[in-house]
Amino acid sequence: MQSDETVENAWTRARARCEGRHCGTPLVWALRGEAASGGWEALHNGHKNLGGWAAVNQCQILCWACYAKATAAATQRGEAGLNQPSDGKR
């Protein structure tokens, strides 16, 4: 799980837009963890022992559609536990 500070820094870097490949969908801060227009989640892209949960460069802000694709791909690779929503909603 990323810290609030890491997620906020990643959000600032993303400029409230999805960082998914070729996406850029506008996002709404208050809709974190929501499968709605503007909904998003923070995905960590690294292992904890490499700073994956704390390092902002390992945190990706994704719209819900891109997040679902990324977690489905991670599940196929056997990495499902790494990509759960940070608040446990889904």
What does the alpha-carbon distance between residue 20 and residue 69 come to, in Å, rounded to a whole number? 10
Q: Is the pLDDT of residue 73 over 90?
A: no
* pLDDT tens per residue across span 54-70: 678 888 999 999 999 99
Which residue did the predictor score with more confidence, 54 or 3?
3
pLDDT of 3 > 60? The answer is yes
Does this model's pTM top 0.85? My answer is no
